[in-house]
Chain A
Amino acid sequence: MLRGERGETVREALELQLEVGKFYGARRFVPITNVHMMGDIEVMGDSGLAHLRRLAQAGGHCEVATTTNARCFDFAHVEQLGQDAGEADKERRLIAHLREMNVITTDTCINYQTLYQPHFGEHVAWGDTGTVIWANSVCGARSNFESGPAAMAAAMTSRVPEYGFHLDEHRKGTFVVQVEAEPEDFAEWGALAKLVGESHQSYFEIPVFTGVKRAPTADELKHLGASLASYGSMAMYHMVGVTPEARTLEAALGGRTPSETMVVTDADIERVFTGYRSEGPCNFVVFSGPQLSLLEMKRLSELFEGRRVHPGTTVFATSSNGVLSAARALGYAQALEAAGVTLLEGVCVYILQNLSRMRERNGWTNMVSNSAKIVNTITAHKFNTILRRTRECVEIACTGVFR
């Protein structure tokens, strides 16, 4: 490959992987079976688009099944959201280049709920931190954070350098979280993860949750993981009795002495919620980041049933084409739209193109969400963010009153 026998694009891809592998002291490559990559015009910019065009023209080709993460346009809503037509056109071209290179443009950050579930020990190359932490923790599969160019490289070479979470020694718990709290709402699982992640920001820190009182649902683990990855830059957690490499606390720690035991109570979680302040009108409520599962769509449609979004308030809910198609077939989508909720497909709100100007134009200062992840990530757009439980978010959406 390095001699260029499989083409220039493969040679370049492998060189990138070699340098990253050298940085981490990787001794070899491991074959992978699935790639999930982030590639959207908002984050790639003109230079990234030009790079993709060059790769596509040079015959770049993904050798393993490769899907894409949420992007920054829902083409049906470009005008309504006041997004740039020129940028939307670039996004279309970007998607076309990806398809030329054999990428399946699924535009979802919940591939693990909707597209591909890797088995125990399977090596994959996933982008979007929320997907990686799910693969490592819940599936027992193995992936590092593979950013756009790195995931693209892996797709072309069908391998990744073996470092980090591909190795047993990096998958043992490093500290213990004694969960005395009993989180119920997604926002409470997210708040728990915020407390753990914010105080232990490191890719190689792995919390071991113990004492969880009941079996969490898939969507609860989704919010927990996405929040841990966002606040803590973490790629794995264990939950004793729940995740596959944590049948016991001892197994999760793998003989290692935990650096500390952190206790989280309901009062700690409550303090997260009371820490947010409203600045001006509460007229922007978001259910996104991660995209909603069908079960979340159903539940949300039930909470909005018989209600209307407050005049002047905008409510976004985002999901994938697959989930939204099913939600429409089942009537959940119509129920949400009847209540005044805007459903966006294939996007995540915090990466929407033109979001800062959208904020200014609509007079949004606060963003209220039940997702701890988006409450963290959207702050670059100068929102004052507020984490609230799902039911409270609906209440704020329908009354315009902060509570």
Chain B
Amino acid sequence: MHGGVPVSAPLHTIEVARAFGPIVEGVAVVSSEGFSPRYDLDRWSGVITKRGHKLEGVNIRDKILFFPTAKGGIAAGWAFFDIKAKGIAPKALVFGVTNPVMVQGAVFANITITEGWSQAPEESIRTGDFVRVNPQAKTIELLRRAEPSP
């Protein structure tokens, strides 16, 4: 049709307040509930196993995870390193509000992590969408929508 926008231009951009780690792209999983790798996650399978968690049954491997908050535990410090070594780590953790344990753990494991967002992600990003997290630019870009189910 028309020239339109370049294919690489994001459909939408969210700014984040703080960020660490490499630039990563992947499939988004957007949660309305907080997260703890100790309380909620089976650290052998990478599946969220906490009964009644909004993401119960979801595998976090290679995902870009959006959580409003971080919950509890000091254990994340070692847990992220552990799940990375096991090959079941997410590509990035995007938090509304997090705590230092998540940050320390992510830095130690070299997993991208951000905190604070200019707009609640569920307003623009849905689970299954393809996104890019850019810690240098402190942005999260929506690259393409999830494939509609057949």
The chain A residues found within 8 Å of chain B, CB to CB, are 16, 19-20, 22-25, 38-39, 43-48, 51, 69, 127-129, 144-151, 163-164, 201-204, 229-231, 233, 235, 351, 376-377, 379-380, 382, 384
Contact = CB atoms under 8 A, between A and B. Distances in A.
Contacts of B70: 203, 233
B77 A148 contact: yes
Contacts of A204: 97
Given A43-B82, A47-B81, A203-B100, A147 B74 contact: yes
A52 to B, nearest CB: 10
Contacts of B73: 129, 230, 377
Contact of A148 (B41, B43, B51, B78): B78
Interface of B: 18-20, 34, 38-43, 49-51, 69-79, 81-82, 84-86, 97-101, 103-105, 107-108, 113, 115
Contact of A39 (B76, B78, B97, B103): B78
Pick the 6 closest A-B CB pairs, nearest first: A147-B77, A47-B85, A203-B99, A45-B82, A150-B104, A149-B108
B19 A23 contact: yes
Contacts of A233: 34, 69-72, 99
Given A16-B108, A45-B85, A149-B78, A144 B100 contact: yes
A72 to B, nearest CB: 11
B105 A149 contact: yes
Contacts of B115: 23
Contact of A24 (B43, B85, B97, B103): B103
Contacts of B81: 44, 47-48, 51, 149
A24 B74 contact: no
Contacts of A25: 18
Contact of B100 (A38, A43, A164, A231): A164
Given A16-B104, A22-B20, A380-B42, 19 more contacts: A20-B107, A23-B103, A43-B82, A44-B81, A48-B82, A129-B72, A148-B75, A149-B104, A150-B100, A151-B77, A201-B71, A203-B98, A231-B72, A233-B72, A351-B75, A377-B38, A380-B41, A382-B49, A384-B51
B107 A19 contact: yes
A144 B98 CA distance: 13
B116 to A, nearest CB: 11
B18 A24 contact: yes
Contacts, number: 135
A39 B38 CA distance: 14
Contact of A376 (B72, B100, B107): B72
7 contacts: A16-B104, A38-B78, A129-B74, A145-B100, A202-B97, A379-B39, A380-B49
Contact of B76 (A147, A201, A384): A147
Nearest to B19: A23
Contacts of B84: 47
Contact of B43 (A45, A51, A149): A45
A147 B115 CA distance: 18
A146 to B, nearest CB: 7
Given A48-B78, A127-B74, A145-B74, A380 B104 contact: no
A153 to B, nearest CB: 8
B143 to A, nearest CB: 25
A393 B84 CA distance: 39
A257 to B, nearest CB: 20
Contacts of B43: 45
B50 to A, nearest CB: 5
B38 A23 contact: no
Contact of A147 (B20, B41, B105): B105
A129 B69 CA distance: 16
Contacts of A127: 74, 77
A166 to B, nearest CB: 11
Contacts of A47: 81-82, 84-86
B119 to A, nearest CB: 19
A231 B72 CA distance: 6
A173 B129 CA distance: 39
Nearest to B105: A147
A128 B40 CA distance: 17
A247 to B, nearest CB: 28
B20 A23 contact: yes
Given A45-B43, A147-B105, A128 B100 contact: no
Contacts of B74: 38, 69, 127-129, 145-148
